[in-house]
Structure 1
Amino acid sequence: MLDNFLHVDDFTDSQLIEILDKSKWIKDKFKQRADYTPLKGMTMAMIFAKPSARTRISFETGFFRMGGHALFLGPNDIGIGKRESVADVARVVSRFNDIIMARLFDHKHVLELAEHSSVPVINGLTDFNHPCQIVADLFTVYETIGRYKDFTISYVGDGNNITHSWIELAMILPIKLNVVCPESYKPDMSLVQKAKDKGLSEINIIHDPHEGVRDSDIVYTDVWASMGQKEEADERRKIFNPYQVNSALFNATGKDSYFMHCLPAERGVEVTDNICDHKNSIIFRQAENRMHAQNAIVLHLLKK
């Protein structure tokens, strides 16, 4: 059976720790401009039904710097699940390439892609989860506070795909995760229950934003209306306004906390400028680490 990366908990705890160590090793190599080309002669197909500058730049740059070639396939190149069935796309594209990364809307599509592909598939994001982001996030936490478990993170905002991937992480490494959200915007509660049943991490759903961030090592937020939800943006702004990460909310942690955001940020909406640019904001290191963490994932799947 092929190794794919579709959910954070596809990895065991030991595999994830190995990938974090590899991320650091690759990052050091890149900073030294070392000649490191384990992917020479290899190609990666990047299927984008849902556009993203950071996902494309980080995957394409990383794969190229390791000696390979990454091919961008946008919505007009492949109408996945529309112009052609997901299964047929998988069967064809995997005959030309060594690995596939797909950033899609429908989570069922990435599962079907992996089922029918003859090469490893990486989930670059779906409406359900965003596993590569959370591996990069965890690497950033590790760089910042010196540990990859036993910390408290409060995610403030919509119970979205980022939240789901943090919940997946909570099933393989012990953390305290507070999901701080309005009552009607909770994450998938069946996933929350599954994680709670594992008994490894403490997971709390909290509706009071200031109570929710208390004693947090990390305060994390994301946009309130993702791609495909922009028609709801005005209504969401009214509902989520108390959840804006501003000085009052950030100081409510009661400790020297760090701020994270998966970007792009709508400054002045879910987070204020002064928090984005705060001395304890690690959002740009977090963005850079997408490339290093994804490189480590690619090498793991290709057994390099």
Structure 2
Amino acid sequence: MRHFLHLLDLTGEQISELLTEAIRFKAARARRALPKPLADRVIALVFEKPSLRTRVSFESAILQLGGSSLYLAGADVGLGWRESNADIARTLNQFVDAVVLRVFKQSTLDELARWSSIPIVNGLSDLEHPCQALADVMTIVELFGTVAGKTVTFVGDGNNVSRSLAVAVGKLGGTFILSAPAGYGFDAEFTQWYATNIGNPLSEISDPTAAVAHADVIYTDVWTSMGQEAEREKRLKDFTGYQVNESLLAKAPSHTKVLHCLPAHRDEEITDGVMESPASVVFQQAGNRMYAQMAVLAKLVS
């Protein structure tokens, strides 16, 4: 691993190794015995989009592993418009040991990585959210001991979160089902890649009730993500019937757990009752972002 841009680039074994490290870091923190693999390292956080979990989890992870971080708002850096991404990458290389980016376009990350001699980490893009997916499968391992043989049903949009999660689940031997309205599923290029590289077809079941019938995990995300505000009313209408509510949860097996990457729009894509139910593990999941990112940074930087 030189960069952490796409889960598509990693093998199932590499993902498993990162999960093992993440779980080890979590246990070490509980004992107040975290190692310091980032001692004397400086990590830049360049964010074009605002964040709660991504920023705090990265800053805390870096500090607790002995490093320090610099937060740079996207407008201050001007990725691709104030100066070229090639120049920005080679300038940052002189000052810091790695760069975490939360950007609008995956192409921005890929271009910076081409010019960078230090690790580039994808903190979120329009196409992928690999750090979130790593935390998600870590949570599944904590709940069930393994991802292999488990069924994860994503009720919602075929977006960056569901795309990365589908890859992580598939590479670890699980079954991924997307339940989305017409026009909101995965694109043909991605489904073809998945079938070729994961080795089994990507399941899409439009009826949420049928999709959760054998689910070990039900996952959802907001219907209107940052940058899609103009589409809000249309999306609310199109996703009618796709809410993760008590009625849908009752159609799943009794052991099913509910995940959400947050922030949640309560009583839109998920009801308050499900969020606060015993089936919900969304805050354990949120906490695991920090440990998953500890594992990524330790692997790349130390």
Match of 2:257 in 1: 258
Paired with 2:91 and 2:285, the residues of 1 have a C-alpha distance of 34
Are positions 1:60 and 2:56 aligned together?
Answer: no
The residue correspondences of 1:73-88 to structure 2 (distance < 5 A) are 73-88=72-87
The residue correspondences of 1:93-112 to structure 2 (distance < 5 A) are 93-112=92-111
CA drift of 1:168 comes to 2.3
| Residue identity opposite 1:264 in structure 2 | P
Give the conservation status (yes or no) of the 8 Å contact 1:175–1:202.
no
CA drift of 1:94 comes to 1.7
The residue correspondences of 1:217-296 to structure 2 (distance < 5 A) are 217-296=216-295
The residue correspondences of 1:111-190 to structure 2 (distance < 5 A) are 111-190=110-189
Give the conservation status (yes or no) of the 8 Å contact 2:157–2:223.
yes
In structure 1, list runs of 5 or more residues that go unmatched.
none
In structure 2, list runs of 5 or more residues that go unmatched.
none
| Residue identity opposite 2:152 in structure 1 | I
Paired with 1:145 and 1:202, the residues of 2 have a C-alpha distance of 23
TM-score normalised by L of structure 2 = 0.97
| Residue identity opposite 2:154 in structure 1 | Y
The residue correspondences of 1:30-69 to structure 2 (distance < 5 A) are 30-34=29-33, 36-69=35-68
Paired with 1:75 and 1:198, the residues of 2 have a C-alpha distance of 34
Paired with 2:204 and 2:34, the residues of 1 have a C-alpha distance of 47
Give the conservation status (yes or no) of the 8 Å contact 1:59–1:291.
yes
Match of 1:22 in 2: 21
Give the conservation status (yes or no) of the 8 Å contact 1:45–1:72.
yes
Secondary structure at 1:255's aligned position in 2? coil
Secondary structure at 1:95's aligned position in 2? coil
Paired with 1:48 and 1:140, the residues of 2 have a C-alpha distance of 26
Give the conservation status (yes or no) of the 8 Å contact 2:216–2:253.
no
| Residue identity opposite 2:55 in structure 1 | R
Give the conservation status (yes or no) of the 8 Å contact 2:25–2:34.
no
CA drift of 1:167 comes to 2.8
CA drift of 1:179 comes to 0.5
TM-score normalised by L of structure 1 = 0.96
Aligned residues: 302
Paired with 1:150 and 1:254, the residues of 2 have a C-alpha distance of 15
Secondary structure at 2:178's aligned position in 1? strand
Q: Percent identity?
A: 39
Give the conservation status (yes or no) of the 8 Å contact 1:176–1:202.
no
CA drift of 1:252 comes to 1.4
Q: What's the C-alpha RMSD, in Å, of the aligned pairs?
A: 1.3
